[in-house]
Copies of this chain bind each other. A is one copy, B any other.
Amino acid sequence: MVSAVQGAPRDLRRRTTLADVALAAGVSQSTASRALSDSPLVNADTRRRVWEVAGRLRFRPNHLASSLRRGATLTIGLVVPDVGNAFFARALKAAQEALKVGGYHVLVIDSDRSPEGERAALDTMRAHRVDGLIVATSGGYEDVGVPVVFFDTVPEGNGVSAVAMDNAGGVGQLVEHLARVHGHERIGFIGSEGSVGRERLDGFGSALARAGLPARPERIRLVDLREAEVAARAAAHALLALPEPPTALVVGADTIAAGTLRALRDADRRVPADVALASFDELVMADLLDPPVTSLDRHDAELGRRSAELLLSALHDDPRAAPEVHRVAMALHPRRSCGCGA
């Protein structure tokens, strides 16, 4: 049976409360509470009886009341730049699964990739008295007074726990592959703004240097991730219009790769024959694209899961445990777009 939106008047069908259970079980509210929390302080028969009555009356303890009283909500706040994005959606899913094991639930708020949005999200988290936070920051982070684990980004400062990809190392692998294996010397880069983008950009610079290639500022473009596909398309067109256009492109995100592929198609450039392409993020269904796009392996779920685990250990084990920064190593997955394969 399914409830109508109209439902019954709130007042009549009062929810059953602990007092109701205690009354029906013929014990005090204290005892009922202890019985239901499986306290050893309660007689086995009493416990059984209380549980039985609670079941019969369909008692669901009011989480608000118990949280208020105990000063803990068993709720974790997750702040992400964009829940609709595949990376964050999958990380969320994995974090949620890991937190469920510890009995925690998740309040997710989307910061919309803006510092103000993030501050508003953190405000709400504070009002909801979350026990801990997992934050992929867009630059608006401020202390909420509960344990935090950052993910995706690693903010500057000490005493911070974080789980992030090895951004610089990952981009390095892409550049190295294009340079060493495929002999490219004019490599362009389309990246993103923000701290993750900056790490990837830095990685690009260092990798060029290591490969003995000149750094040419005009071959670098940064886009706003809020409009990545469109902006990347424009950026790619700009790179193709250079007097000496790049023969290979490294792009800093899957959405940027999509925009870039469209630009290459607009401009009738074959990939990889005319321009090679390698993307940091693996594209969804990368193997089915035309051409399949070379990228680093994804670690969406792993990042989510590990952040959750780190937070759980901060919450449970030793609250003063040394903060840890985990960098997830990235592995290259060559496909046709860089020039590999058939």
Residues of B within 8 A of A60 (CB): 123, 126-127
Binary B-proximity of A101-132 (CB < 8 A = 1, otherwise 0): 00001111110000000000001101111000
Interface residues of A in 268-318 (CB under 8 A from B): 283-285, 287-291, 301, 310-311, 314
- The answer on a CB contact under 8 Å between B290 and A7 is no
Q: Which of A156-164, A175-183, A201-209 contacts B (4 or more CB under 8 A)?
A: A156-164
Residue among A67, A86, A128, A149 with the highest chain B CB neighbour number at 10 A? A128
Interface residues of A in 241-276 (CB under 8 A from B): 258, 261-262
- The answer on a CB contact under 8 Å between A7 and B127 is no
- The answer on a CB contact under 8 Å between A3 and B143 is yes
Residues of B within 8 A of A93 (CB): 82-84, 110
Residues of B within 8 A of A107 (CB): 105-107
- The answer on a CB contact under 8 Å between A314 and B5 is yes
Residue among A8, A93, A148, A285 with the highest chain B CB neighbour number at 10 A? A285
- The answer on a CB contact under 8 Å between B86 and A128 is no
Which residues of A approach B to under 8 Å, CB–CB?
A: 1-8, 10, 13, 15, 60-65, 67-68, 71, 73, 82-86, 88-90, 92-94, 96-97, 105-110, 123-124, 126-129, 141-149, 155-161, 258, 261-262, 283-285, 287-291, 301, 310-311, 314, 319-321, 323
A-B contact pairs, 27 of them (CB 8 A): A1-B143, A2-B143, A2-B157, A3-B143, A3-B144, A3-B145, A4-B159, A4-B323, A5-B148, A5-B159, A5-B161, A6-B314, A6-B321, A8-B145, A60-B123, A62-B127, A83-B92, A84-B92, A88-B89, A96-B109, A96-B110, A97-B110, A105-B109, A106-B107, A107-B107, A262-B287, A285-B285
The 7 closest A-B pairs by CB, nearest first: A4-B159, A290-B290, A89-B89, A84-B93, A3-B143, A63-B127, A5-B314
